[in-house]
Amino acid sequence: MAEDIRRGIIITVFSTAAAVGKTLVSINMAAELAKHKYKVCIIDLDLQFGDVCNFLQLTPQKTIYDAQLAMTEDFSGFAAAEYITPYEFQEINFSVLAAPVKLEESYNITAQAVLTAISQLRNAYDYIVLDTTAGFSELNLAVMDVSTIITFIGIVDFIPTIKNMKIGYDTMRGIGYEKNKIRFVLNRSNSKTLIELQDVEQLLEERFYHVLPNEFTTAVESIHKGVPLVLYPEKNNLGRSMEELVGKYTNRLQENSKGNASLSSWLKKFFK
């Protein structure tokens, strides 16, 4: 039950590459947590091209841009809860703080304004899920600093993607994030590739915390319906895997972080 857990856990969903499924993972994590009666708010921090509301077929009346305007006009009277958009499906509900509607509005959002909104909302919610854009922007670094867990989404498709994952992980460790704060989640695990999973784990010096199957058609169908996979009445492998990921987080399950496979020589030469 929600009252048995401390409030305000922040889960940031991050990647060093675009189009790896961050938003799909974010909305399903939020929905799965809500399904288990936690109070959840998802904040869309892909400020220019955020898709949380699109994926959920929501039309927000207020966004994070409006929230920042209110802070500027009356900081002491600002209430972040007034700027959320509710999502509900079959009595399961969670909240969304939407990205700006207009592109030009995104350039005016400050990291400090976002942190202020997060600070207020974490007092009202059990979980805050942050859907970020790819890369180490000022905003991403600011929210990762205050995050409880960073869900680092990766795909094993080609060499530059893996290189960027390695650079990203080394950067996080270099600025002082504990290993347990960073959880690698592999998406599209059974897609066709010549790169072996164990080689990537050996390179990262970390096991993937969780592995999501490659079910592109199911994911697209979910977006078209505006319903997270974990809320589907019929079971699907990707939805079940999302449920298992959240189960690990809420039960604080641990996995062995050391791999034993040797790195294939053809991949190793790219990371000397």
Q: What is the pLDDT of residues 168-194, one digit of tens each?
A: 999 999 999 999 999 999 987 555 555
* pTM of the entire predicted model: 0.87
Does the pLDDT at position 231 exceed 70?
yes
Q: What are φ and ψ of residue 100, in 5° steps?
A: -55, 150
Mean pLDDT value of segment 105-120: 96
* pLDDT for residue 194: 54
Q: What Å distances lie between residue 270 and 18, 70, 134, 166, CA to CA?
A: 21, 49, 22, 11
Distance CA 209, CA 127 (A): 20
Does the pLDDT at position 1 exceed 90?
no
Provide the domain limits for residue 142. Answer: 2-271
DSSP state, 98?
Answer: P
How many structural domains does the chain have?
1
Give the residue from 25, 35, 21, 272 showing the smallest Cα distance to 155: 21
- Where b means 16+ CB within 10 Å and e means fewer, 87-97 reads bebeebebbbb
End-to-end CA distance of the chain: 48
| CATH label of the domain that carries residue 21 | 3.40.50.300
Report the 3 state secondary structure along 215-269.
Answer: CHHHHHHHHHHCCCHHHCCCCCHHHHHHHHHHHHHHHCCCCCCCCCCCCCHHHHH
Q: What is the pLDDT of residues 212-225, one digit of tens each?
A: 998 888 999 999 99
Q: Dmax over Cα atoms in the chain, in whole Å?
A: 60
Amino acid at 86: P
